[in-house]
Structure formats: structure tokens, C-alpha cells
Structure 1
């Protein structure tokens, strides 16, 4: 349900500006056609397509290619609204070719974005990811910041599906930073910039809820709260109510969650049946959580009966079937409970396949990018080798140098392998994660903490342990000032206590925590090992790969890349 609904939001909101300018029936004014399309968009596909075709004819009579594309796009949207996904995909492909032929760049990218979203339903996630990459390349070619950010956020959604939520968060944070620093221009009004900030903040809040970091989720809800309805494009306020409702539900504030879900649906009313079944799911799950089992089963069953799930949508219904099975079980209707539990298991299996496919597609993309880079390097190397063929007189010297380098490399490799074995032994022997790397500083400014009151000393040590559990040290903002502020002390006391208790200064203390975290996560997390060194550095709190590599090598004697390679060999 969640991923299917995200596709809807992506399509509904990204095309709402077009629906407001979709026009009329052949001889009638454009506004009249627009009214007809909007009137029948969700209820009568034949009338909608008739109006769209009339609009196309009128556009042709005026030789207006952009409006003709809008007419074609209306047909694709009409198929989508009526859940004729294959037909919608085929029409969108025609729309993209039309835009290409007539050099309508924005319309070409809009068609490709829509077509990309549909691939999860009509094809597979591998094809969808390929389309998103194509959209990114097209946006870079046309120098479109707008569609570049759309592509990044859609790729982040694939990361979410694959289970790589942290990387999805990283991508969206960069996109959010782009819009927060974007100035108004011909492409972006202030309202459209605000709307993008609200939408991305919503997705970030959802991702943090997914990994159970509710405080971080709330921070991004606060970003949406800075806007009022007049600051946002139509319907974007729904993101605030949706995010607040999910947090309230997570915190078991069910009455408040229900009110917020109602606001969520009221702020942007629509006849689209996917929204209706999502409404049934959200209200039904609250009634279930409150113990109103019969009412929950009635709401959920009616939503399902009204919607009529298609075979291609079964893989997105796991959560819905699970809640419905639980509601029937609690009411004593074990036959219906068993029926929907079986459907839940089937849907879960399909979702697992989807997740595995997403992981595989992402890894294939990374492999392809790596091989392309290798081939470029190989080509460059061959060119240089061709040039060296003319320098036969220096061949002997080159060979001697190479032999020296190889011998040195072999010696270094052996030394690094020994260091790696020692590090593995320390990991196995460590009782706690912070015992692998425990650096002691010889020169400390404040070795004695006797002038720190005992109760404050305990407060600081307990505060440090709490922040360690919260993994605050992974944030780039983690400084002695911010740590002292969170604990409720000053930097002088903090420094003295860390010096005397841990035998190290504040920076060493934080670096040890980060490097311990990196060592263990790289050992245990296959996906994390596939990140670039820059991404790993940012994940553990460093601003640059150089800083991370410097401290990693200082504490372990190894480069991170060597450690990752050796871990992969034994995994």
C-alpha cells in the first residue's frame, strides 16, 4: 500500500499543474474542456478521452504543440486513474516520443518521469530503475535542476524499497539542501520551492520512522510546519497531516492520529479509488489498535470490496491483509482470518521478491558504473602503453622500477594482511563494541577532574553513555559544545571528565566511537560495504573521505578500502 500510494502522490502532484490547464470539447472554449476532463477523470474514462481528443484537435488547429502534448498526457492520466496501467504506460511512451520529435524538453522529461513510475506496476523494479537513470541523464543533458532532483528522489524511493533506507535518507537530504538554498527563478517560484521542501521532508520523516528514529522524523515534520497553506501549492499541506498522523500512530496517540488522517484526506479531496482504500486502511488500523475489532474488520473489508485489487497490485497489499486478518481473528471469524492471512503471506513473498530485485538492480548499476570507469582507465592505459613502445631504450629502467614497486607492494600487502588479522582478533575478543579501538592520549590538558563535583561527573558520564546509545557521535554536528549542551554541562567539565575517565581528549573519544562503529558495521553489513568511501565517511560523521581515511588508518593501520576488500574475501 505504501509504495503504491507513493507512486500515486508522485504522479498526482507532479501533474496537478497540467490538470488545471486541461481544456474543452472541440468547438468549445478550452476552459469548458478542462471542466469536462476534471468532471469525468475518475468516473468515466470514455468521456474523459473524448474530451482529451477534442482538446488535441483544438490544439492542432492552433498549431500549439505543448497543448497538444497536454491532451495526449490527459489520456495517459485517464488510463492511470482507471487503473489501466498497461494502457497508461503505452500512451506515456507515445507522449515521450511526441515530445522528443518536437523538441519539447520539459514534456519529454515529464513523460519519462511518469513512465518510470509506472514500470514498478507494468514491468519490474529493474526496468523502473533503468528509466530513473535515463531521466537523470536526460536532466543533466538538458541542464534541468528540477527534473534532476525528481530523478534523485525517485532513485531514493528504490533505495527505500531495497531496504537501504539510510542511503535513501542521504540522497533526500542532499535534495532537500538543494531546494533550501534554491533562489526563485523562471523555473522555481517560492511556492514551488516550499512545496518541494514539504514533500521531501515528508519522505525523510517516513524514512526515519521506518528505522525507528522518531525524534529525527519529528525534526522533518517541523520543517513542513513552517509553511501555511498559502505558502504551498495545492494539496501539499496533506504531507504535514500525513506525517503527523504517522508519528501519532507510532506513539499510540490513536485519537489524535485519526483526526490527522481525516485532515490528510480532507485537505485535498479526490475521487481516486486508491486514496479511498488507503483511507480505509489508515482508519481501520487505528480501530484495530484501539481494540474495536468488529468496526476495524468492517472498514477494512468495505475498503477492499470497493477497490477490487488487481493481480499486479497484490504485491503491495501486505500490510492491508495483515491488519484485516488480525481484525477477523479477534472477532472470532477464523475462516476469514485464515483466508486473509494466506493472502498476506503471498503478498509478503511478492514484496520480498521486489526488495531482492531492487537490491540486485542497484548492485548491477554500481557494477556497471565501476566497469565503465575501469574501461576508461584501461583505454587510457593502453594509449600510454602505445606511447611507451617508442621509448624502448628506457624499457630496462621501467622494468626495474616496476619490480621494485611490486616487491614493495607485496611487502606492504603482507604487512596489511597481518594488521587485518590482528584487527579481526581484537573484534572477536572485544566484549563491547567500543573495546576494539581504545586510543589513549599521552598529552592531556586536563588529567585531573577532582575539581568537578561528583554528581556532575556522574551526570556527564551517564549523559555520554546515553548519547553513545543514540549514536549521536555519527552526526557531523557532534562537537564538544553541542555534547556539553545536550548533557547540561560546560565544555570545561566535559573535557576534564573525558580526559580523566577515558584517558583521551574529546576528539579522540569521538573518533574512537566512529571508527569502532565503522569497523563493526563494515564487517556485518553487506550493503554498507558497497558504499563509496565518501558515503561511508558521511554516514559515520566525517565531512570528507580524507578525514575518515586518516583516522581509520591511524587507529587500525589500514586503509578503509583494504579493510573492506579483506572483509569481502572472508564474508
Structure 2
């Protein structure tokens, strides 16, 4: 039974894995561009919260987060905040140059937002810069947007003809591309240009561009992928404007025909559609219908809390209609409402500006904190790197010392082995030699005559062998007080010939010869008496000065007495 429970538990855990994975996937899907762009218009606050979380969790690149923040704020008509975040994305793209296409997209947004904030010169700067990049990347859509934006800037700067020339350049570029993907943008350009032409009272040109848009919409309507409701709304708009334009130019028959086309659209029954036809109805004298349409549109705008300049245009239409109906009292009230709304809009703009300044201040404070944290992190990182580098360097030096010590120890051991072998050979030679029976010396050894040099050398060698035998047998070299006079008396030889004899047979002087015997004895003691101290060994060997002992020992063996002793211990162990 217990095994059955275990199996059930494992099966339950296995079945829950897809659920957990699905939840993780859904959570990660929220931090994507596609998800944000789907909900930013209907849920701006939630979208901004998601973007804050995406930045905190580093689930999206910062330039994309700032770009999307700009899109959300622009949709909320908070263009200063939109410009702030778009500029941040633009700066990041400009610094890192990771994605030229995204940099171009941010340049387009900077040009458009600067235009919306009436900074036309700054908008022109971004537009000119963006056009160069768009042509370099062969991005026709972005190039057309920027050219059209340049045209709007020129028009607002009173260079109307140059502005219209740029409008036409953008429209021609899109039209010549023959791409179906650009038809929606081309229709938008036609509509904006048509509005400017009506405002500038260039009615014939407005009619021409309106007819072009109608033709384009007819072509677009034959494409299955285009939404019918959007097309119907655009048809209703262009029909309403053409009806108004033809009526203003005196072609009332065509105006009536387009009004009939307008009425055939579904959008004509909507609040937006009825407001679009209001100028034409006002021209027809249907003042009460205009007032009814304006009333419906006002109700919708009040529900959406959009009391702005567009709302003022509704009130102006109502004033015109009421003036024709001689409702002067209503006209006066409407004028008062307009004045109050203008004051309210002015106050609200100041309040929004203050709120945006507060937002920007909070953002700047947040950026300052992030910069400070980044700086502290950089300092900690540099400190950690320095500490690690120092530790690695120290480890390297320790390893280097250890390696050198190993090399020295191995070298010392090799030297000790060689010295031991030499001593073994010397001991064998000493044991193989017969005892010198005749240890007598001549009564007096005369100075060398130079007549028979070879005979003198033989004599010196014989005397030295006897003397060497006596010194080693009696261990005379162990006496620190051993002197030249004592030895010359033994061999009955003057100092000059004695020195020459020592030199011929040892290749050194008397001190070197005696010290060599003492050092050999010291080495013997180190092998036989490993517990002796170095001072005891030196004194036992006839050397009372430790510095002298160290100097002589290192000169003979190539290592210090302590190194030799340690190496000998390692060999013995």
C-alpha cells in the first residue's frame, strides 16, 4: 500500500509539471513586445507596471522598455514623458549601435514627438538625421514618415509651399514603391494633407487629394486581409469631406452624390461618423441636425474625459448652428463655456506639466540611484578584481618559491649523492693503500737546485705522501692551532720549498689543504651524527668561526651546511 501512495505522489508531480511550465510561460509572455503592444491602449497603467517589472527583472532590453514607455505615454497624451523615455532609448541606441533599425525607429519617434510639442526646429534636426539613416538602411517607410514630418514642421514654420513639397515627396515615394504594405500609410498621408489643404482654404487641391484617397481605398478594399470596419470608417470620412468640399465649390450635385455614399456606410450611423458630416450639414442649413450630432459627440467625449481642443471645435459648430437659428442666448452661454474650457484646459495643461515634471523628477531620482548603485557595484567589482589579482599574484609567488625550493632541494640531493659517491671512492682508495712503513724524513731537505726538476718533484711527492698520511692518521687538521711551523719541522723543510710542495700536490696552499680535510671531516660527521648542531660540527672539525665555516662549505659543495644536512636527511629517510 505504501508503494501505491508513492506512485500516486510521483504521478501527481509529473502531471503538475506542464501546469507549472505553462504558468512560467504565461508569466514570461507578459514581458514581451507583442504582449505590451496588444494591451497598451486599453490598459496603460497595467502596461507601465509590467514595463517597470521588466526593467527590474532584466527580462527586456532597457532600450525596448523605454521605447514602449514612450508609446504608452504618447497614447495617454503625455508627450513630454513620452519624449523623455524615447530620448533615453534613442541615446542608448546611439551609444551602442547594436541595432541600426531600432535607432532609426527611435529617430522617427523623436521627430514626431518634438513636432507634437511644437519644437519644430528640433523635430527637423531629428528628421534630417533620420532620413540619412533611412536611406542608408533602404527603409522606405521610415524615410516617408520623416519626410512627411519635415513637411509638417515646414508648414508650422510658415514655409507652407515647402511643406507641401515634402508632403508630395513622401507620398510619391510611397506610391512609387507599389507595395501593398504601404497603402495604409499612404491613405493616412492623404487624409492629413487633405485636412491641411482645407484649413488653408485650398479647396480644389483638397478635392484632388480626397479623390486620390478614395481611389486608393477602393483598391485596398479588394484585399482580403484588410479589416472591413476600418475601411468603412475611412470611406465615411473621405465621403463626408468630399461632400463638404464639392458643396463649397458649388458642385452641389456631386456633393449630394458623395453624401449619399456617406450614408451608405455603416460608420455614418456612429457618433464619429455623424460628427464628420456636421460641416456639410451646416452648409445645407440642417442646423438642428448639426446640433443633435454635436450633442451625441459631446456625450461620448464627456464619458471618455476628452474635453480638449477637439471639444472646442464641437462647441464652435454649435455656435454657428445656433447663430443661424437665432438662439443668441445659447450662443452667449456657449461662448462662456468655451472661455471656461480654455481656462480649464490651460490649468489642466499646467497641472499635467507639473505632474510630468514630478514624474521626470522621480525618474531622474531613480536614474541617479541606479547610477549610484552601478558606480558602487563597479567599485566593488574593481576592488574584488584587485583582491583576486593580488591573491593570484601571491599564490603565484608562493608557487614560484615552492617550485624553486623543490628545484634547489633536488639539486642539493643530487650534489649530496655525488659527494657521497666521491667520499665512498676516496674511502676505498684509502683502504686499498698500504700503510706507509717508512715515515722518516731526510735530516734536511735542501733548496731546489733547478738542475734536476723531475727528481725534486719526486722528492716533494714522497715527502707529501708521508706528511699527508701522518696528518690524516693523527687527525692533526682538527686542531684549530695547527700551524705551518709545526708541519715544516716535521718534514725538515724550509717555508719556500714546503709551500711549493703543498702547491704541487694539492693545487692549493696550506690553508686550503687543511680546510679541505676539515670540511671532509665535517661532511663525515653530518652523515654519521645527524643530530649534531652545525656549530658542534664546525668546532669538531677545527673551524671555530661559523661565517668561515659557511663560506668554506658553500665554496666546496655549492650549498650551505644546513642545506646539505637537510638533503642528507631526505636521502637517508
Q: TM-score range by the shorter chain?
A: 0.3 to 0.5
The structure with more radius of gyration: 2
TM-score, normalised relative to structure 2: 0.43
Higher RCO (C-alpha 8 Å, min separation 6): 1
TM-score, normalised relative to structure 1: 0.43
